[in-house]
Chains A and B, each alone.
Chain A
Amino acid sequence: MSLEDLFKEIIIEHYQHPKNYGHIEHPDAKADGSNPLCGDEITMELTFDGNTVKNVMFTGNGCSISQSAASMITEAIKGKTIDEIKKLMSEYMNMLEGKDYDSELLGDLEALSDVKRYPARVKCASLSVAVLNQALQDKK
């Protein structure tokens, strides 16, 4: 198990050049969260078209795992319905918790699969999931 497995190029790329970084002027839903242990912070803002995510942006600061996960997750959920997103996040959590998961569904997010070997870092990778769930819940 080498470090390059954890810090894959795609993770570093998303960390240094995050996708969907910034704000939405009139979001339909917004949530933020932080990991008090290390100070990772994520805020997500979303707009919807019915039950489908039309646009999503995030801001935040923290480690490469938390920030790249936010970047990749925002990429992955655009254009998806709430049910599809819930399924995707559930598979993503399965991966982080070392359970069986749907590799095809996860796509780029699978780059974070080695985080499971570093239990202290799972919280970094899952912060965006908590924030996203909160935003989806608040949307109603």
Chain B
Amino acid sequence: MDIKNIRKDFPILSRIVRDKPLVYLDNAATTQKPSCVIEAISRLYENYNSNVHRGVYLLAEESTQAYEDSREAVRRFINANSTKEIIFTRNATEALNLVAYTWGEENIQNGDEIIVSIMEHHSNYLPWFRLAKKKGANIKIVPAKMNGELDIDAFKSMLSNKTKLVGITHMSNVFGTINPVKEITLLAHRYGATVVVDGAQSAPHMKVDVKDIDCDFFAISGHKMLGPTGIGALYAKERYLNSMEPFLSGGEMILRVTLESVDYNELPWKFEAGTPNYEGAIGLKVAIEYLEKIGMENIESYERELTTYALDRMKTVPDIFIYGPLDASKKGGIIAFNIKGVHSHDIGTILDSEGIAIRAGHHCAQPLMIDCGVSAMARASFYFYNTRQEIDALVDALKRAKEIFGHVA
């Protein structure tokens, strides 16, 4: 991979921040956009903007085609069977909520059990938490082991005929842990449970094959994979979508409406009420094509190498504690850490003064923070446009942070 040339595709990466070159290491929060994505959005508005699935004129045909082409790109990217199984949403959060508010509402009952992991982002915990409260169902939490990996034995022991749903993140947004979702799905299906995988962090960084995983639902987020904000997608097996009631109601999701009755639209439009974010979808398609051109296998192996380097270098910072797996083969390019005596918020500010952007806080995973006995962590997260030099800048700045706060007894 020619990182130097790849970086030229991302205009923001040449920005100077606080008199220093920007070192952007907050890719788990959102990723930067290549020129081709930015230009695709401009091209829409300069050339063929019109609402999709509405008009009979040329512009409407073009925008509708571009929107549906994006659906095909998402299908191909995660290897779904059919574009009927791809529902555009605002983001992964909305995709997960869609499942909770439709399938969940219809199927979860009093006394049922929902299993989620301690590593879940709030977006794959709270929808199930609220559903369980409402229905009188019980939530079981799969713990993490000391090495930051999921305790799969604990998961196995929780499964029973009461298990109706398993919600699991493919890649933890804090630990970076890659969870064995295929194995989890296989085990859960033996008990007839439905499996929802949060792929917000995995899909941007590794080859995802929903058919191989065999999960029933899979959520992705466009802006975490070079696409614009406000676009995400839900993959769902067609038989699930056929049996589910629509989520939101309005335009687009109907075939025929009278004052007394409604016939819903075909899949996938049954689940896309109102004017969709076609701008976002069109940008996402170009982002996917960009990722495919580089190759997801190449991205994964480059990031693994970078993560190995980062783990090695970061260990040299005095009094650092790194959360999650220390073995880069078990995780993605996400490293959460604390430095004794320096609060993560202060780390964030000190790094910012060096032009380095990282995240500090609870990472929308407060149950995991509580489990780790902290209220906040600092987190550096990488993408394929990051370099070893940027890791060096990070490590130098972390050492500086430790110096500023002095020796802590």
Contact = CB atoms under 8 A, between A and B. Distances in A.
Interface stretch (B104-112, B302-310, B342-350): B342-350
Nearest to A6: B349
Contact of B405 (A1, A2, A12): A12
Contact of B360 (A2, A12, A38, A64): A38
B361 A65 contact: no
Contacts of A120: 349
A98 interface: no
Given A7-B346, A63-B343, A124-B345, A118 B404 contact: no
B404 A3 contact: yes
Given A38-B361, A39-B375, A118-B352, A65 B405 contact: no
A87 B152 CA distance: 58
Interface string A109-127: 0000000001011001000
Contacts of B345: 38, 40, 62-63, 65, 121, 124
Nearest to A124: B345
Contacts of A62: 343, 345, 375
A121 B361 CA distance: 12
Nearest to A62: B343
Interface string B351-370: 01100000011100000010
Nearest to A3: B353
B408 interface: yes
A64 B153 CA distance: 41
A121 B404 contact: no
A4 B361 CA distance: 23
A63 to B, nearest CB: 4
A120 B405 CA distance: 20
A7 B404 contact: yes
A64 B361 contact: no
Contact of B346 (A37, A39, A61, A64): A64
B406 A12 contact: yes
Contacts of A41: 375
Interface in B245-269: none
B25 interface: no
24 contacts: A3-B350, A3-B404, A4-B404, A7-B346, A7-B405, A12-B404, A12-B405, A12-B406, A16-B341, A16-B405, A16-B408, A38-B344, A38-B361, A39-B376, A41-B375, A61-B375, A62-B345, A62-B375, A64-B346, A64-B405, A65-B345, A65-B346, A118-B349, A118-B352
Interface of A: 1-4, 6-7, 12, 15-16, 37-41, 61-65, 118, 120-121, 124
Given A39-B361, A64-B343, 14 more contacts: A2-B353, A3-B350, A3-B404, A15-B405, A37-B361, A38-B362, A38-B376, A39-B362, A39-B376, A40-B345, A63-B343, A64-B346, A118-B352, A120-B349
7 closest A-B pairs (Cβ-Cβ)? Answer: A39-B375, A63-B345, A63-B343, A39-B376, A38-B345, A38-B361, A64-B346
